[in-house]
A and B are shown apart, each in its own frame.
Chain A
Amino acid sequence: MSAKKQTYSGNQGLVLEEALIFEIGVASKCGVDMEAIPDTGSMLGDCAAEQAVDLPGLSEPEAMRHYVRLSQKNHSIDAGLYPLGSCTMKHNPRLNEKMARLPGFGDIHPLQPQSSVQGALQLMDTLAHWLKTLTGMPAVALSPKAGAHGELCGMMAIRAAIEAKGELATRKRVLVPESAHGTNPATAALLGFKVDGIPADANGRVDLQAFKAKLSENGGEDVAAIMLTNPNTCGLFERDIIEIADALHEVGGYFYCDGANFNAIVGRVRPGDLGVDAMHINLHKTFSTPHGGGGPGSGPTVLSDRLAAFAPLPFVVDEGDGFKLIEDASQTDQPSFGRMVAFHGQMGMFVRALSYMMSHGSDGLRQVAEDAVLNANYVLASLKDVMTAPFNGPCMHEALFDDGFLKGTGIDTLDFAKAMIDEGYHPMTMYFPLVVHGAMLIEPTETESKATLDLFIGTMRDLVAGAKSGDLARFKQAPELAPRRRLDETLAARNPVLRWRQPEPDTQVTGQAAE
């Protein structure tokens, strides 16, 4: 049972219950004052609806309270450490927000005359310059909407290049390490490629011998690409990466690098020096644009000389006396693979990312990588005597542990994570990567202070001691202090309730606030 005191309202001090808008609002209520409707007659033809949509409205104070109360049920990077491995939950500077809201960026239309948006095109061109310089790559496609969309962009460019060489019928195989993000195989499959897994070696990296064996099947003539994350999802740099790239290029394949973990090397290592042909960059990870509860992201994708000509539409060219947006295949001689999205990409994120890059500069970005790696190694070094690290360090920007230290305690990775919630932490990434058992992947990022890390380390050590001493309740009952206790995910999936419906009379809704 929960340790919480029972209250009449269901509220717990500052933890306030909040009903759904459908339970507190009415369709006739409106929190927006509008002008009267001029009497013009209708030009809607046969398509006019007979009645208003049945959705509740709230007055402005009610709406504000509703959303503020909901917000208080969220953990956030502003409020505390958010060490989700592979997600790079770093501080989101508010200068970026202010810049994105300048009317000259936030209030311009994608299809207004290009002469009236020269500053916006200049911003895109400047961002492209920074991204190309930081990665050492000759071209970048800005339009992908998120990381997975950037992957799609890179793989589409690779597919287009293979097609241009007349090898589409033969090059069908894409090599994907078992430690890869799920988006990698999903992207390859979406484009009709056959996914061929490569195992990890005992050091948590691509097994070079296994890779070479896979490559030599059919003389490598059927290999389209490898999709490799570097630093990889175990938080390790792929030492053999140049050798992998060279061997791949020798048989005519392309190297797609998943750039999710670019934060570990930004300003210090250029992917272009590693033989990469395409890599997406998550602006919402490395370049601090907010995660926003699951988006919007932005996934610009850098391309090598072998792929640059196939870059998607649209793109910006600097014509000397002004910038021009190339929007249609007829405006360019390049064999672009076409369009991935309406309009030009996530402009709001471009502004934020450039604001961040300019703030840090070349020297600051290098320090970002160094501090991110330092923080992760500090956590690794401070916990590896009580938790189990499957691979020898040093790590890059994230520290990976397995559940070996929980063996025999009756507590699993999930229980451990939920107990962290009661301690005020968002859990690390769990059960990923798949190559170690009960994985716990901790990425502190460079924006955490030593004091924050020391308290976190102390807490983790205390939790480990609790687990080993048999304090099962602390883990099995957890979380007890969060706005909700463990939620029944099986019930949610077995009987999906994906929208609110008017309840039948006589049914009681639990957890509803008494307003």
Chain B
Amino acid sequence: MRYLPLTQIDRQDMLATIGVASVDDLFVDVPHAAHRAENVDLPRHQSEMQVERQLAAMASKNTSASQVPFFCGAGAYKHHVPATVDHIIQRSEFLTSYTPYQPEITQGTLQYLFEFQTQVSELTGMPVANASMYDGSTAAAEAVLMAHRVTRKTRAVLSGRLHPHYTAVIENLSEMGGFHVAQTPLQLDDLSNDDVLALIDDDTSCVVIQNPDFFGNVSDFTALAAKVQEKGCLLIAVVPEVISLGLLKRPGDMGADIVVGEGQSLGNGLNFGGPYVGLFAAREKHIRQMPGRLCGETVDADGKRGFVLTLSTREQHIRRDKATSNICTNSGLCSLAFTAHMTLLGGQGLQHLSKLNHARAVQLVEALTSVDGVSLVNRAFFNEFAIRLPRSAAEVVEALADKGVLGGVPASRLLPHGNLDDVLIVAATEVTSEQDIEAYQTALQEVLS
């Protein structure tokens, strides 16, 4: 077995040193009833080549995003990841290192976390950011719990156009924790978020909105943030597509109190939904109520600059049942992919990338709405938008897939009770070519005719 260095002679020598006859003697504390003499009923060990063949056979049954004209989004986006990024995250010293609890020999991890926090802080327009969360949805749920701690209130108001999975995660954790959630009705006619204001009551700690929202709409929420704060609540802004921050007003500049986001688009592949990287940024005065790990600057015994995990008195390994969150891991390697990609881009490169995404989406809208019976839902969008079709979007997506086009996500897949059977959510990014757009337009025309 290639992963096990001990030889039979080693094992015998070691048993002799320990002073037992066999390895079974080391398992004496296992109750007799649970003792199993036989191997479990699973295949025996296999060579690298055998394993590779079987897994490759499974992989080959899937249609990958690079194989076909591809337009799925709804919280996960297909972008080009530079080859350099994948090399960097496979460096042994990053890949096979643990959480940096011994800072003297983990400055590599700590420094990139400090750089990551600074980048997230700049991108969101917020004073501080943590060292990442599991993903966008869990970051959103943690933001709601943080708002409850800050305001000492117990109820959250969610926009109806929040990503339905994010809504579900927030509702689930809130209900289990004894908190309350209200959500505005889902509608696509009035695209402002002002309806959240009517739901705020005395127990409300926060309002959660998403920009771009689940249907791709973007809007300036500066006025809304001010009104929410006048009522004593925090405004939580969810950013599902971090590339949008290269072109849109920053949530912090629009007045958000907490910004959470999904950082997958920078540096991380689609991976069928995970692992991804949650972003979490807040105001300085709320630092001690933040969840997750924080990396801070300090000096070593020689006065040299260095970095450590800090403010850990908030965390579970110190505070146990009084901790701000039960979270232990962050999304270390995914945050490295994020920060390396962001470093390769730089501010102006990100802006260019964002413009390219937007331009492709605008081109795609023009192409698709030229098809009879197809109309655009949005007034303003970034790289994703919603269209209404003359038929069920789920059926259209299947028919498009048969023609070799993965045309988007039917809204009804995530909102089966939303009366949105004709709504399709479509994304374009820098990987979308003009040929892809043309192929989509032709296929859609054929499917709808």
Contacts and interface: CB of A to CB of B under 8 A. Distances in A.
Interface stretch (A100-108, A213-221, A467-475): A100-108
A82 B98 contact: yes
A487 B306 CA distance: 7
A444 to B, nearest CB: 11
A192 B59 contact: no
A367 to B, nearest CB: 6
A489 B101 CA distance: 11
B138 to A, nearest CB: 6
Given A106-B270, A149-B138, A52 B347 contact: yes
A252 interface: no
B282 to A, nearest CB: 10
A106 B349 contact: no
Contacts of A290: 95-96, 333
Given A38-B359, A54-B347, A496-B294, A483 B96 contact: no
Given A71-B93, A267-B39, A294-B332, A116 B63 contact: yes
A74 B63 contact: no
Interface string B102-126: 1111111101101101110111000
CB-based closest 5 A-B pairs: A57-B346, A45-B380, A104-B59, A343-B273, A292-B333
Contacts of A354: 55
B82 A31 contact: yes
B147 interface: no
B444 to A, nearest CB: 15
A405 interface: no
Contacts of B250: 49, 53
Given A49-B248, A67-B88, A146-B134, A30 B345 contact: yes
Nearest to B296: A492
Interface residues on A, range: 35 or more
A452 B14 CA distance: 13
Interface string B406-420: 100100011011000
Contacts of B48: 95, 359
Interface in B143-163: 163
Nearest to A297: B329
Interface string B344-361: 111111111101101111
A145 B294 contact: no
B344 A57 contact: yes
14 contacts: A2-B301, A37-B356, A77-B92, A97-B95, A111-B414, A115-B401, A182-B320, A290-B96, A348-B275, A358-B55, A363-B44, A371-B6, A378-B17, A492-B310
Given A70-B107, A186-B319, A293 B94 contact: yes
* A32, A97, A288, A361 interface centre (most CB from chain B within 10 Å): A32
A118 B62 contact: yes
Given A38-B359, A70-B112, 12 more contacts: A43-B358, A57-B345, A77-B92, A111-B413, A145-B138, A147-B329, A148-B328, A268-B27, A364-B3, A366-B40, A447-B3, A499-B121
Contacts, number: 727
Contact of A105 (B52, B122, B272): B272
A327 B414 CA distance: 8
Contacts of B176: 156, 159, 190-192, 337
Interface stretch (B64-72, B194-202, B226-234): B64-72
Contacts of B219: 45-47
A417 interface: yes
A35 interface: yes
A66 B340 CA distance: 9
Interface in B123-148: 123, 127-129, 131-132, 134-138
* B91, B95, B137 interface centre (most CB from chain A within 10 Å): B95
A168 to B, nearest CB: 10
A449 interface: yes
Given A84-B98, A109-B72, A145-B134, A359 B271 contact: no
B391 interface: no
B300 A29 contact: no
Interface in B363-416: 363, 365-366, 378-382, 397-398, 401, 406, 409, 413-414, 416
A253 interface: no
A377 B74 CA distance: 51
B247 A273 contact: no
A419 to B, nearest CB: 11
A14 interface: no
B211 interface: yes
Contact of A486 (B75, B99, B104): B104
Contacts of B273: 110, 342-345, 347
A190 B326 contact: yes
Interface in A96-149: 97-113, 115-120, 122-123, 126, 130, 133-134, 145-149
Contact of A487 (B271, B299, B313, B331): B299
Contacts of A105: 55, 58-59, 62, 271-272
A489 B270 CA distance: 37
Interface string A306-347: 000000010000000000000110100000011111111111
A269 interface: yes
Interface string A1-31: 1100000000000000010111001111111
Interface string B1-36: 111111000110111011110010111111101111
Contact of A489 (B171, B298, B302, B329): B298
* B15, B105, B108, B117 interface centre (most CB from chain A within 10 Å): B105
A461 interface: no
A66 to B, nearest CB: 7
B336 interface: yes
B99 A374 contact: no
B430 A22 contact: no
B168 interface: yes
Contact of B1 (A20, A268, A360): A360
A351 interface: yes
Contacts of B2: 359
B76 interface: yes
B326 A186 contact: yes
Contact of B102 (A186, A188, A421): A421
